[in-house]
Amino acid sequence: MTILVTGAAGFIGFHASRRLLARGERVIGVDCLTDYYDVRLKQARLAELSAFKDFSFHTLDIADADALRALTVKEAPNRILHLAAQAGVRYSLTAPFAYSRSNLSGHLSVLEAARALGDRLDHLVYASSSSVYGERGGRFSEDDPLGDPVSLYAATKRADELMSATYAHLYGLPQTGLRFFTVYGPFGRPDMAYWSFSEAMLTGGTIRLFNGGHNQRDFTFVGDVVPLVCRILDDTPPPRNALYNIGGSHPVSTLDLVAALEQAFGIKAETEAVPAQPGDVSFTCADTSKLVRDYGEAPQTELAEGIAEFAPWFRAYRER
């Protein structure tokens, strides 16, 4: 099976590509290697993937619709795993056009490339986000009505879902959107709290706790996420735009995240309480009953367990 993976040098894209390659699939990786965070980390991920003979990589901006379409038609993948995006809520406050290019034009380019494959395409799976739910309480269900987004990032991810729904209706594309909830783990993203907190702890820095550390997130370990992504990708659905929450359903406060990191590193963190950041929500929690109903499982790893696996990897990576 041939799979086109956009964002192959990214966090989830790397882990998914590695799992697909390990089971014998052919993976065509695409990434534009932006400098949103240290490109050396993306290159380190690619170096691991390049050890597989069935991996090929193309430096390509998915917003370049003609180039993406040409590559897709040439390689004729059976499935597309679309994980490329401009991530991060806070960065959208200062670089809004990066989000319109990657998340809006880029997603549309992927849809057009998928449409060009016609009946040769068995499934397009793409990344959405828990941010589409906005500010609310309780468990977030895919059936919940969605209000106004609280960040530009959230708005672009919701727009992606709507574009995909339109292409499923007009052109019969078989699609699944995955609403990821705060995925973390080895080879993760330096802009995320668990990474930046770890860096501060190991260098004697101070951790800034937005909203005093009382925000709660449904942290989801990448080791749980990727097997589910690949299992869903293997499906051959009818024309649709199905949506699934990918989360652990166990919200944890930022203060508890700090405590887990202190335990894993054996270091006491220096912290500073600061006001809430614009664009942030105070709470996320995935209702995964639909995921369990259709695919039989959901993420289970507790935060302390996942952080205990991340910490030694992080130390080793910093010493490279």
Tell me if 146 is assigned to some domain.
Answer: yes
Question: What's the CA gap between 181 and 202, in Å, rounded?
Answer: 26
Domain around 149? 2-181+221-247
149 touches 132 (CB < 8 A) = yes
Looking at the domain assignment, is residue 260 inside a domain? no
Residues paired with residue 211 on neighbouring β-strands, in sequence order: none
Catalytic positions, written as ranges: 153
Is 153 inside any structural domain? yes
Q: Give a yes or no: residue 68 inside a domain.
A: yes
253 part of a folded domain: no
pLDDT reported for residue 271: 96
When pLDDT is cut at 50, 70 and 90, the band that residue 30 belongs to is very high
- Specify whether the CB–CB gap between 46 and 78 falls below 8 A: no
253 phi, psi to nearest 5 deg: -75, 160
In a domain, 166, yes or no: yes
Amino acid identity for residue 158 in this structure: R
**Sign, CA torsion 36/5/60/41:** positive
Query: Is 209 among the domain residues?
Result: no
Q: What is the pLDDT of residue 34?
A: 95
pLDDT category of residue 17 using cuts at 50, 70 and 90: very high
Above 90 in pLDDT, residue 279? no
Report pLDDT digits (tens) over 201-229: 999 999 999 999 999 999 999 999 999 99
The total number of structural domains in the chain stands at 1
Q: Residue 176 falls within a domain, yes or no? A: yes
Strand pairing of 216-217 and 252-253? antiparallel
The CATH number linked to 66 is 3.40.50.720
